[in-house]
Amino acid sequence: MTSDTAIGIHDLSFATTEFVLEHTVLAEYDGTDIGKYHVGIGQRSMSVPAADEDIVTMAVAAAAPITARHGVDQIRTVLFATETSIDQSKAAGVYVHSLLGLPSSARVVELKQACYSGTAALQLAIGLVRRDPSQRVLVIASDISKYDLDSPGEATQGAAAVAMLVSADPTLIRIEDPSGLYTADVMDFWRPNYRTTALVDGHQSIGAYLQALEGSWKDYTEQGGRPLSDFSAFCYHQPFTKMAFKAHRHLLNICGQDADPAEISRTLGLTTAYNSVLGNSYTASMYVALASLLDHADDLTDQAIGFVSYGSGSVAEFFAGTVVPGYQGHLRTAANREAIDRRQPLDHARYRELHGRSIPNDGGVHPVPRQTGAPVRLSALDHHKRIYELR
């Protein structure tokens, strides 16, 4: 394959959960002015998983439309990115591989580095396809963000999975080679093995994000990347949607450019539509932003998009992609909107009940109540084994 052969995102699909909690419900419970949520952090609702949903069930729901459209024979690798893993040893993607009926002649690997690892998976996939352009790689990013009840992070919770088929001659996005990288050892957000909810230093986390953005942009320019003026839009990791606006203002400032609010809204606004109602989906967040941009923009043909991927701890990457002519004929706009609209609203008591559910760890047989209408559900835990059930 010649070095100028395009590689990138050939198809993209996302899924979310059965339930949704509106921020108006949360604000009424905790006595918060709704403007703190709607305006302050830019969030309107959050996806909440049913008892029988997890990162595997969402991943299957996201990936199934891709394998239905393209088949499974050319998929030799599944890369599953998550920071809410269900097992310390077995990759969650192995369950997905089985449930989707993928061939046994495939590798499956799970990747972790906070919210960044979806991008690590994408870049690894590009390398595999570059080595053998006849192969396709299924990249999945799936996460459920969960914080302590009544904590500052509670309003930023959410859940979603994104599946991407990476191939040569892609129909959606050509990923460009220059890439800016940044890593620093920072304790801004972490979740020890013995905890089910994350620990967050909110103020430090925002600062670490901005520092990582600055460092990855500097490296991107040194690697021969595009000038800032080339980009028509930017997809940022969105722990909450207003963070994308804060980050972009910082990028403009360090580049000596005017942070005009109208221009910032033009380049970022369409990327936040889905994340503002799904909440933070960690590894999937930036790619949910991409889906939102593609679904809402009039025509992005041949335009450059900047991608800012950040994972606490911390690792960041700045890279670019170009939108492929004819991309609109391959979008899943109706299905994406249906995934959001089908969620059932929760009252606050029911939300707290679901939030408080825990996985039994006694090794017994524990059926899981049927709550979701998704293609696959977690049906039981049996002697420490997760049992999944197809509809």
**pLDDT tens digits along 343-364:** 999 999 999 999 999 889 999 9
pLDDT digits (tens, 9 = 90+) for 19-40: 999 999 999 999 999 999 999 9
| pLDDT at position 306 over 80 | yes
pLDDT digits (tens, 9 = 90+) for 213-223: 999 999 999 99
What pLDDT does 38 receive? 98
Question: Coil, strand or helix: which one is 306?
Answer: strand
State residue 369's pLDDT score: 95
Residues 307-322: what's their mean pLDDT? 98
- Mean pLDDT (whole number) for 87-101: 97
Please, which pLDDT band fits residue 391 given cuts at 50, 70 and 90? confident
C-alpha to C-alpha distance for 13 and 197, rounded to whole angstroms: 27
- CB neighbour list of residue 207: distance below 8 Å, 6 or more residues apart: 188
- Phi, psi of 141, deg, nearest 5: -125, 120
Confidence of residue 198 (pLDDT cuts 50, 70, 90): confident
Q: What is the pLDDT of residues 44-61, one digit of tens each?
A: 999 999 999 999 999 999
Mean pLDDT of 276-297: 98
CATH number, position 303: 3.40.47.10
Give residue 259's pLDDT.
86
Give the number of domains in the chain.
1
pLDDT at 4 over 50: yes
In 10 A of CB 178, how many CB atoms? Answer: 15
To the nearest 10 degrees (0 to 180), the angle between helices 348-355 and 23-30 is 90
Label residue 188 by pLDDT band (50, 70, 90).
very high
Measuring CA to CA, how many Å separate 345 from each of 61, 237, 276, 340, 377? 20, 26, 16, 11, 19
Domain membership of residue 2 (yes or no) is no
For the stretch 101-142, pLDDT in tens is 999 999 999 999 999 999 999 999 999 999 999 999 999 999
What is the average pLDDT value for the chain, to the nearest integer? 96
Environment class of 363 (CB within 10 Å of its CB; exposed 0-12, middle 13-18, buried 19+): exposed
Q: Which domain holds residue 11?
A: 7-390
**What does pTM read for this prediction?**
0.97
> pLDDT confidence of 1, banded at 50, 70, 90?
very low
Q: Domain for residue 1, yes or no?
A: no
Q: What angle do CA 37, 234, 328 make, to 5 degrees?
A: 105
φ, ψ of residue 32 to 5 degrees: the values are -85, 140
Cβ–Cβ contacts within 10 Å for residue 197, how many? Answer: 16
**Low-confidence winner among 68-77, 258-267, 317-326, 328-337 (lowest mean pLDDT):** 258-267
| Catalytic residue set | 83, 115, 237
pLDDT of residue 2: 42
In this prediction, residue 3 carries a pLDDT of: 54
Give me the mean pLDDT over the 221-246 stretch.
97
Give the percent of the chain with pLDDT over 90: 93
